[in-house]
Amino acid sequence: MQDCFPRAFTFILYGGTGDLAMRKILPALYQAHRDDKLAKTGRIVAVARPELTSKEYAAWVDEHVQLHAQVTRDDETSWSTFLARLSYVSIDLASERDFGKLGAALNHEDMQDAVRVHYLATAPSLFVSICHGLAANGLNARARIVLEKPLGHDLASSRAINDTVGEVFSEDQIFRIDHYLGKESVQNLLALRFANALFEPLWRREWIDNIQITIAENLGVEARGSFYDQTGALRDMVQNHLLQLLAITAMEPPRNMTSDAIRDEKLRVLRALRPLDILDLRKQVVFGQYQSGFSTGQSVPAYSNETGVAEDTLTETYVALKVEIENWRWAGVPFYLRTGKRMPERVTEIVVNFKPVPLSVLGPSALSSGANQLVIRLQPNESIRLYCLAKQPGDGMRLQRVSLDLAFDRVFTGRSMDAYERLLLDVIEGRLSLFVRRDEQEQAWQWVQPLLATLGSGQRPRPYAAGTWGPAAASSLLASAGTCWREEEN
């Protein structure tokens, strides 16, 4: 029997005609609808500036969202009932007065016990005006608000946004979303560590040589050049996704699985990150920018030639860094983080490299074949793979690396929930565990501040050809410690 989420809700989607709504949010809501995980009385209200009727908006969704929602011929009934949930209100999100029109539309149809979810799939510059408009019309009561990244462009702007949102919503009403936290493999990382006696005793400096976390994209900036040129990889990926994955990988066992217990432990990791001084920034951080090259089998332009990007841009499309956590579990263990656009493949994974055996009694091949390695892949195909050494058939003791592979799509035959689907259901039910608390977010911004200052000083990022794994300096970062990035394509 499938789980059911019976709570009545009204989901208000700001930026309802935008790219995020089209590609992620509406498809995720449809998948939950199709599998009967949404209350029958729940409804979705899209809000945006274009002058459309609800019927015209449903037609727009029918045309633009079906492909992303993976609607098949067998889903025609589910799709039509999903479209029936939709309505549309046209307002100017920068005008408080327009929110009165939204309030009238919501109050006209809302059930008495329905929870309201305000999902801000808009530019962060609109967050403040939206919150003021909601408060002025009493739309923050009995409601939750979802904030998309990037929440500000530095620590000061992040605090300013949080202060404004905090005047209108209490902390337990605020859901700062990071969709990586909703991925099945991230949940399995917690299960792997805290439900298995095999791994937890080894999850420490005595047995682990280094940990690598990679978020690589084979695409460029696509149609988001003007936005990305004001953001860059550091703000877009490091401050949120990479540091959140680092915190989950390195956190201590929480006392239970409640939201604050989990987030308390992540915060302790972020507070234990050793700050980077000027010398560290030179030795432990690499910024890059892709040049022309070949990606996914075709010639692609340099970042500076992308539409919407300034010709003399200094924006980084690649970041690699070495960080350390100053606590007893991880002292002396380097964590290598990297993210970039126009990489050879799209992959997100956490690689745990264990230390080699202290003495080789099986001959030189025991050392030359490599140490044990645990690879937790988040995308494109979620899996966990443990690499061990085994004897090759035949005479002598020749060792070969083999893997124990847990591919979730083969072990668990049912459909796995998309990250956004899981997180949206959690918002409706009021579960905060997979969302970022304000103190977590601001601690991450505070740690990133010195890197932002370096970028602001006019430092030119190192060039790398599109379709490669980034600047040579990123490989040197690990080579100096006698190791290398895992770049095996699967």
In sequence order, what DSSP letters do the residues of 336-348 get, joined into one string?
EEEEESS-SS-EE
Separation CA 487–CA 343 (nearest Å):
11
CA 348 to each of CA 15, 305, 351, 421: distance values in angstroms, whole numbers, following the listed order: 28, 27, 10, 19
Nearest 5°: the CA angle 61, 64, 66 is 80
Burial per residue of 65-98, b for 16 or more beta-carbon CB atoms within 10 angstroms, e otherwise: bbeebebeeeeeebbeebbebbbbbbbebeebeb
Within 13 A of 372's CA, how many CA atoms are on the CB side? 13
Q: In the beta sheet, which residues pair with residue 287?
A: 319
Per the CB < 8 A criterion, the answer to whether 133 and 96 are in contact is: yes
Separation CA 45–CA 303 (nearest Å):
37
Our measurement of the distance from residue 434's CA atom to the centroid of its chain's CA atoms, rounded to an integer in Å, reads: 11
User: Which of 91, 78, 80 is CA-nearest to residue 45?
Assistant: 91
Separation CA 110–CA 106 (nearest Å):
6
E strands of 108-182, at which residues?
A: 115-120, 143-147, 174-176
The residue behind tokens 């409804």 is 43
Residue 162 tokens, joined: 């949080």
Our measurement of the distance from residue 276's CA atom to the centroid of its chain's CA atoms, rounded to an integer in Å, reads: 24
Per the CB < 8 A criterion, the answer to whether 404 and 388 are in contact is: yes
Q: In the beta sheet, which residues pair with residue 342?
A: none
* H or E element, residue 250: helix 243-250
Specify the domain boundaries for CATH 3.30.360.10 within the chain. 181-416+438-479
3-state secondary structure of 256: coil
Separation CA 334–CA 323 (nearest Å):
6
Q: In the beta sheet, which residues pair with residue 221?
A: none
Separation CA 460–CA 454 (nearest Å):
10
Specify the domain boundaries for CATH 3.40.50.720 within the chain. 9-148
Residue 186 tokens, joined: 């991230």
Packing angle, helices 155-168 and 127-136, rounded to 10: 10
Separation CA 397–CA 276 (nearest Å):
46
Per the CB < 8 A criterion, the answer to whether 342 and 292 are in contact is: no
Separation CA 180–CA 240 (nearest Å):
9
List the chain pLDDT tens, one digit each, 490 residues. Answer: 344 446 899 999 999 999 999 999 999 999 999 999 999 989 999 999 999 999 999 999 999 999 999 999 889 999 999 999 999 999 999 888 899 999 988 886 656 678 999 999 998 889 999 999 999 999 998 899 999 887 889 999 999 999 999 999 999 999 999 999 998 888 888 888 898 888 889 999 999 999 999 999 999 998 889 989 999 999 999 999 999 999 999 999 999 989 999 999 999 999 999 999 888 888 999 999 999 999 988 999 999 999 999 999 999 999 999 999 999 999 999 999 999 999 999 999 999 999 988 877 776 655 555 789 999 998 888 888 999 888 888 877 778 888 888 776 677 766 778 899 999 999 999 999 999 999 999 999 999 999 999 887 878 999 999 999 999 999 999 998 999 999 865 4
Nearest 5°: the CA angle 341, 347, 351 is 120
Does the 181-416+438-479 domain belong in CATH 3.30.360.10? Answer: yes
Does the 9-148 domain belong in CATH 3.40.50.720? Answer: yes
pTM exceeds 0.85, yes or no: yes
Taking the CA atoms of the chain, what radius of gyration do you get in angstroms?
24
Looking at the annotation, which residues are catalytic?
241
3-state secondary structure of 11: strand
The residue behind tokens 């960080």 is 323
Per the CB < 8 A criterion, the answer to whether 264 and 311 are in contact is: no
Per the CB < 8 A criterion, the answer to whether 287 and 455 are in contact is: yes
- The values of phi and psi at residue 469, to 5°, are -90, 20
* H or E element, residue 13: strand 9-14
